[in-house]
Amino acid sequence: MKGKSIHEIKDEHGAEMTGLLQDYYREIDEVRAMRDPEGVAYLDKLTAEGRAEILREQKAAAKDDARSRALERYREAAETHRGRVESRKAFLDKTLFNVGGTPGEAMLPHAATATEEGLMDLLDAAVIGGSPDQARAVLAVAHRRGAEAVVGAYLERANPEAGELYAEYQVAPSADELDKQEAQAETFVHDPGPDSLRYGPPAA
């Protein structure tokens, strides 16, 4: 089996997203913990209200910076994840459904017009004739149609070793799912909003 499986790719991406959120929330907690304005000249000359206003502005800026970094990290991770998933799916597609040479190509028109029962007959002929390319042609058509009985027969009789790869292919994220994941950046990296930063007068 070449490369990391879809399961491994998804697990690693999930762990990366968890780490991203943990880092982001830690930064937000540090913002909440700010008690005095930083880098302000003559701070002791300001009123409590003036210091509180500067602190609010600094907290808001620090929060925005932290969120901007987290969003950039999310989008980069999502793009990397998409590339890894698509690469693995291309490998699985080629391994499972590539009909190879002339025997497989010749089988495709027959399989495409066959009933499900006809697909079973074509699969039997391919297995008896020892033609893996023809059997994969039957699988390709059966998979596209959702003919589960034919797919099951292929995995049982023609290529039992492909069962694990086919199961992996079935759980691979679709292009739409990857698009939705990328579009969820703003929701995933939640903006806590100014009220949650616990603004208030600086400590005396």
Residue 1 lies in a domain: no
* 122 within 8 A of 38, measured Cβ to Cβ: no
Nearest by Cα to 162 from 183, 178, 140:
140
Q: How far apart are CA 88 and CA 7, in angstroms?
A: 11
Structural domain count of the chain:
1
Residue 35 lies in a domain: yes
CB count within 10 Å of CB 81 equals: 21
pLDDT of residue 198: 67
Q: How far apart are CA 13 and CA 172, in angstroms?
A: 13
Q: How far apart are CA 150 and CA 119, in angstroms?
A: 7
pLDDT of residue 203: 43
Residue 202 lies in a domain: no
Q: How far apart are CA 66 and CA 51, in angstroms?
A: 22
Which string of b and e fits 142-178 if b means at least 16 CB within 10 Å?
bbeeebeebbebbbeebbeebeebbebbeebbeeeeb
Residue 60 lies in a domain: yes
pTM of the model: 0.83
* pLDDT tens-digit profile, the chain (204 residues): 468 999 999 999 999 999 999 999 999 999 998 887 777 777 777 777 887 788 888 999 999 999 999 999 999 999 999 999 999 999 999 999 988 777 788 898 999 999 999 999 999 999 999 999 999 999 999 999 999 999 999 999 999 999 999 999 999 999 999 999 999 999 999 998 877 886 544 444
CB count within 10 Å of CB 200 equals: 11
Reduced to 3 states, what is the DSSP secondary structure of residue 147?
coil
Q: How far apart are CA 83 and CA 76, in angstroms?
A: 11
Q: How far apart are CA 9 and CA 13, in angstroms?
A: 6
Range of the domain at 114: 6-197
pLDDT of residue 2: 62
Q: How far apart are CA 105 and CA 134, in angstroms?
A: 8
Residue 203 lies in a domain: no
